[in-house]
Structure 1
Amino acid sequence: AQKTKKGQSSLLSYFSTDPPSKKKRFEDKAPEGVLEHELELNVEDVSGSSSVQSTATTKHIAPIDEIQGPSCSSSSTGQLEIGLINKRDPAHGPSMAKVCLGEGSFQPRDFNFPKTGGRKFRPEWYEIFSWLEYSLLTDKAFCFVCRSFYNSEGKNNAEDVFTLIGFSKWKKAVKVFEKHEKSNSHQSNNIKLNCLKEANKNGTIIEKVNQKYSEEVQENRLYLEALCESLIFCGRQSIALRGHDESTDSKNRATFQNELLSIIGEQIQCQIAKEVKEAKVFAIIADETQDIAKHEQVAKVHESFVGFYRAKRTDGKTLANELKNVLISMDLNIKNLRAQYYDGASNMRGPYKGVAAIIMQEAPMAMYIHCNAHILNLCIVSCCTRVPSIRNTFFVLQSLYNFIEKSTKRHAIFENIKKSFQSYSGRTSTLKSLSDTRWACRVEAVRSLLDNFDTTLTTLREISDTDPDSGGQANALLKNLEDFNFVFDLLLLRRVLAQSDILSKTLQSSSVTYEIVKSVKNGTLEVLKSFRTDEFFSKLFNHSIEIADKCGFRAAQLPRQGKVPSKIGGGSKAPFESVEQYYKISIVWPVIDILSDQIEARLQENNLDILNNLSKVLGGTDEDTDSVKCFYKMEESRNKTIQERADVFVQKSLKSVFPMLFELFRLFFTIPMNSASCERSFSCLRRLKTYTRNKIGQERLSSLALLAIERSIGVNISKVIDDFNLSQKRRLNFV
């Protein structure tokens, strides 16, 4: 073997079974006159010698158990064992570097680095070259960056000395390190490492794409949520919305309002249908009206508004089919229908071709009931038309309203005169119009004229004296008002119609029951009978005389009696003995009798026998309920009505004990007493479908009406957005 310098181990010593002594291996020293810090700076240029002296000729690393580095002192033996265990040691190869990429380069510092040729690895180099790492097992330096991105196919790899073999020429270390750092392969691998760190920091590409997608979805849903909230707010306040035309030539078609409104309306309908299904049995209330576009609108309500549906025809078959289609669309079984509530039109109540008859062919237990509020209105109309004096009075009332209120000029005169009266309270009440369909309009018209009687007289006199065009009409109306007969009729109608108005408002209540209807009807009839007394007539007649004297009218007179034709016997009609007798017999008694008879007869013939029998069963007698009251400790003063007994039935959880009684309670309260809910929905229709909005679509109209009428039903905006996304393919992502 070649002799080696003093203080150095021979090459064979690395393969001997007996390693050199500890003293000989570590007595190497730097050459005299050279300082330690000069060793890492005073190095030779190695640009011409890129190869490293090594016996290895292939690009692989021997197994760990075959690698034997320089012998170490006993103080570093434990650290070498750590190197064997530590997977980050560069001696484990590039594949392990990729596994430990996230932990960074392996840079041991607290280690007694062995010397080779008087020089050793210096940990200070870590600060200059952050990519540098040291192997405890082989006493060699590696490049962590290049090892991590080592390519087994040999493409764009760095020098093997920094990836596979390791560098140990410490004399030339700094120059070689600098050259490697500037190499293309190292810089390329360094860029890859930085990109990988950035990706790990901010997430992978898939994660970034998913994150961006989620942010986009959240942002889109936020925008659509704001639009839905605006639609719901405007819809519940009956505020007009622009942009309903979504045709291809519309400049505002991208608003997609109709689709959102339709989804919102369907959601409200689904909630109503769910409640109906839970109740099992139900009743339908339907009515029709003509909107401003001359289309017949049919409303269907189950104490909850369901929608407006355009009826192309008004015959019974068409309306019945429309009702059945609505029940099918809401997934309601028509067999569970127990009552039908309509008005008295022939297309609704006809015995053969009416809506009720057609519906009962499929639902035999769905009995038809004529709306009690409509019946009362028919009673009042009959009373007001069958008595000539009352008929003429209402004609004058309507003519007076048309003359003053339909002219801005004459209405201004009316307002100015009213303000001049000392009794003016700051609120200008106007005259009211009459209508055959508005149930409370007659009593309101009578009251408004009596409240403004002096103002109306003065207004007519001024117009008669100053206006050449309408003065003649004003004078004719004035002569009618200055008649004792007209004043008497107004006072009579105010008293009689006030009682019918109480019954009318009771019948229009959404919570009215058969018991209440029966009680209020009987009370109204009792009051009307009390009016048919001499005492009531005397007070009424004297009050009329006081008003006539105050206004300067002529006193009451008997009308001229006509003669009987001679061909049927001749002579004259039997005259009345007095003026009082004339007004009593010809006006007061007929008005009271006709109204009382109409109310009793019409309400009695309304198909309410089943309700009357149900009320007897559920109401019971005191003897029948005494034992129950005692057992359940009920108070004597309570539980008199069917409603109170039903409440106790529910509170005591008696459904399973008396299932049939529970079914009777449910049936009794399911049957409605009026169709006023439909009339109220028609008021909403007039707010929605106005003169400027008469082209609104049917589906849009129904959805807006659901929002305006069913305000108490909440709308799940998140579900609306989900349904909107599923309805058709969207350019934007919402889910």
Structure 2
Amino acid sequence: MERHTTSPVHADCEYAHMAWISRGRIDDHILFNREEIITQNRYIIHNIIDAIVYLIRGNIAFWGSNSHDGNFSRLITLISKNVPVLRAYLEKNSSLQGKSGNKILRPQINFISYGHVKKLAKIIKIKILNEIIKQIISNCAFSLILDGTYDISKKECVALIIRYIQEYPHPHPVERIINIFTTSDTTGENIKNNVLTKLKALHLPLEYLIGQSMDGASNMRGVNKEVQALIFKEAPKAIYVWCHAHRLNLIVIRICGYGNEIKKTMGILDELYNFMNGVKRQGVFTKFQMQKTKKSLKRIKNTTRNWASSFKALQNFLDVYEYIIASLTELSNSDDAITFSISEGLLSRIKRYDFILGLFILRIILKCTHETCIEMQAIGNDLAMMIKLIQHTKNKFQRLRANGDNILTSLHTDVKSFMDKNNVTTDIYNIKSIFKLDQKEFDNYIEQQKEKYKNENFYPVINMIIEQLNERFNYESLNFLNQISIFTPAGLADNENIEISQISEIVCLYNFDPQKIIDEFSNFRPLYLDSLSIIYSKDLINIRKNDTLYDESENIINDSKMTETKRWLKYSFILPYRLLIKSSSFPYLKTLYKYFITLPTTSCSAERAMSKVKIVKTRIRNKISDSFLENLLLISSEIDIYDTFKTEDIITDFALTSKRLSNLLIG
């Protein structure tokens, strides 16, 4: 009896009976009830979408050992406590989960099933992709950024990033992830095929592809059968830009392994990190360290993937130096022979004058590269800014070399103060009594040691850095990049006339009439110089401050971040472009500047995507499918686009995927 009274047939009869009593039309009652059910169903889906997006924002796993367990089902249950419609729906579903004889009872349709959750995530991803593609097509230009790494499932995971100009609210470059794929074949041909297949599936014309950026891996950078060369054959405008940040970090790696003294210093730091990584030893260090600071030891990682880690690890070591001394002193009293021996050896070595001097010299050098590395990683950078930034970095090291004597004299004083502050006495100050030297002889000995360190370590490493900067960032040897400098703001301020030969490679690559470019450039010069003060740029400062790796705590060249950002923006292509789009008199020049801004400078965005892959695809989630992984990463990375969508539109798209869903959500 109870089963009959709750059946749809009985409900329809009840409506018919009530309609007959009230003399109303039966179909009107049924229609009213149907609209109410649709409204309730859409509200349920709305809450489910909120739960999906919440988990994706936090990179949280959806399910446990099965689709009925895990964070998603718990979150839906939690939401339902304050949403009566959702609670009633879950209770109804739960009541139908059972058996009647040999027949399994299931709800007519389960909105929170594994398949429907994945379908909703896919719909959101598709809507985000469509918005990105719409912006690219309207812009008629984009660049490609690629990077890959081995994921937890031992496959090569490749991130595909697109760089283009987003026109609203004010034109600025953006970098968006459009695809993640895994492969066991890391050859250039296979990666190229995967990339071009994805671009074709997204209906992105190769004639719009005007640049590509990757790291210096052998399967990416080569000029024959590697990825960039193969893509360039298919898209002749897609000039390759070797990631500037990778190039700089290759120099940092050379610094950390250059010369015996520096290698010795880095070896001691690595040995100390490994020794203190034990549970009991770390406990001793934490006991001292937690008294004043929460900073801990960090390993100086010898890899280009850990941006600016060398400087931060070195600075951390100096900040916790006194706690390391205290920890090693306590550990040297251990009954364990190995702990006693290693701690004694490390304690004597990190108290040495030459070790501490090496740390201070490395800090000065790595601070310069660290500042450049941080600034390089902003998405708002373009090649004009990079050329100026690299030149500025070269100038800093040239000043270090020119002032070497004064710097080392100052460092000697700083090292002595540092040692006195930490109550450290070293062998160099015992020499006076050991060899019975008078004050003059002792002073001469100190000067000899300083001169030796200067000539054998300081100057050689500075010379190597300048040589490496000239070699790895030799824009003069690349005609295209050399010709770009003509169109920088500095070039606009120059009154010299330009010849066709000076821009021949640019106009040839992009199929422009050189004379039209020259004429428009000559006419645009005075307009730009007169209008520079009124070009809107405040949003560009905010964009650069909101970049993922923008470090608010790091000052560059002793200026505030905002002042420094304004300084670099003066050399950017974006300011002339913002003036050009307001005028219809410079169509060719406007397109040329659009291409310059669209060209990538680093592959840092792809590196960030790889970092997110490691957060999402963990050891316990290593069987996640490529399609679902792509959905999660794309939504998580481009959540700002999702925030512009109306949830009702997502529900409608979901309803149109099947007739049954359409009946329940649209009618």
Partner of 1:230: 51
Change (3 A) 1:500 1:386: same
Q: Distance in 2 between matches of 1:522 and 1:298?
A: 32
Structure 2 residue 286 is matched with structure 1 residue 415: yes
Structure 2 residue 363 is matched with structure 1 residue 500: no
1:694-709 equivalence runs, <5 A? 694-709=622-637
Q: Tell me, what secondary structure is at the counterpart of 1:322?
A: helix
**Cα displacement (A) at 1:307:** 3.0
Given candidates 311, 329, 340, the residue that maps to 1:471 is 340
Partner of 1:310: 182
CA contact (8 A) 2:492 2:525 kept: no
Q: Distance in 2 between matches of 1:606 and 1:723?
A: 53
Change (3 A) 1:467 1:262: farther
CA contact (8 A) 1:369 1:607 kept: no
Given candidates 386, 390, 398, the residue that maps to 1:529 is 398
Given candidates 202, 212, 216, the residue that maps to 2:37 is 216
**Cα displacement (A) at 1:606:** 9.6
Deviations 1:441-476 (A, max 9, x none): 110111011111111111112112125152222223
Give the structure, 1 or 2, with the largest relative contact order (CA under 8 Å, sep 6 or more). Answer: 2
- Higher relative helix content: 2
Partner of 1:583: 453
Q: Distance in 2 between matches of 1:458 and 1:631?
A: 65
Q: Distance in 1 between matches of 2:430 and 2:147?
A: 47
Given candidates 554, 559, 568, the residue that maps to 2:427 is 554
Structure 2 residue 593 is matched with structure 1 residue 665: yes
Change (3 A) 1:606 1:683: farther
Q: Distance in 2 between matches of 1:223 and 1:607?
A: 62
- Name which one, 1 or 2, has greater alpha-carbon Rg: 1
Q: Distance in 2 between matches of 1:594 and 1:632?
A: 40
Q: Distance in 2 between matches of 1:671 and 1:339?
A: 5
Q: Distance in 1 between matches of 2:24 and 2:146?
A: 61
**Cα displacement (A) at 1:491:** 0.3
Given candidates 628, 651, 655, the residue that maps to 1:721 is 651
CA contact (8 A) 2:161 2:178 kept: yes
1:501 alignment partner AA: H
Partner of 1:255: 114
CA contact (8 A) 2:577 2:594 kept: no
Given candidates 198, 219, 223, the residue that maps to 1:326 is 198
Q: Distance in 2 between matches of 1:349 and 1:631?
A: 40
Q: Tell me, what secondary structure is at the counterpart of 1:294?
A: coil
Change (3 A) 1:681 1:196: closer
Partner of 1:150: none
Given candidates 383, 386, 401, the residue that maps to 2:273 is 401
Given candidates 127, 143, 154, the residue that maps to 1:283 is 143
2:586 alignment partner AA: F
**RMSD over aligned Cα, in angstroms?**
3.1
**Cα displacement (A) at 1:246:** 5.9
CA contact (8 A) 1:488 1:544 kept: yes
Change (3 A) 1:195 1:726: closer
Change (3 A) 1:697 1:202: farther
Partner of 1:33: none
1:344-359 equivalence runs, <5 A? 344-359=216-231
Partner of 1:544: 415
Partner of 1:430: 296
Change (3 A) 1:216 1:510: same
**Cα displacement (A) at 1:514:** 1.9
**Cα displacement (A) at 1:603:** 1.4
Change (3 A) 1:196 1:241: closer
Q: Distance in 2 between matches of 1:333 and 1:440?
A: 37
Identical-pair percentage: 27
Deviations 1:307-345 (A, max 9, x none): 321122211111111111221121101121111100000
**Cα displacement (A) at 1:235:** 1.0
Task: Mark the runs of 5 or more structure 1 residues left unpaired by the alignment.
Answer: 1-193, 559-574
> Which segment drifts farther, 607-616 or 641-650?
607-616
Q: Distance in 2 between matches of 1:687 and 1:290?
A: 13
Change (3 A) 1:203 1:665: farther
Task: Mark the runs of 5 or more structure 2 residues left unpaired by the alignment.
Answer: 1-14, 74-96, 98-109, 163-174, 432-444, 497-520, 536-569
Q: Distance in 2 between matches of 1:429 and 1:733?
A: 56
Partner of 1:206: 27
Change (3 A) 1:203 1:694: farther
Number of equivalent positions: 515
1:420-459 equivalence runs, <5 A? 420=291, 424=292, 427-435=293-301, 436=303, 437-459=305-327
2:124 alignment partner AA: I
Partner of 2:439: none
1:634 alignment partner AA: D
Change (3 A) 1:672 1:245: farther
**Cα displacement (A) at 1:633:** 9.0
Deviations 1:4-33 (A, max 9, x none): xxxxxxxxxxxxxxxxxxxxxxxxxxxxxx
TM-score (norm 1): 0.65
CA contact (8 A) 2:123 2:654 kept: yes
Q: Tell me, what secondary structure is at the counterpart of 1:305?
A: strand
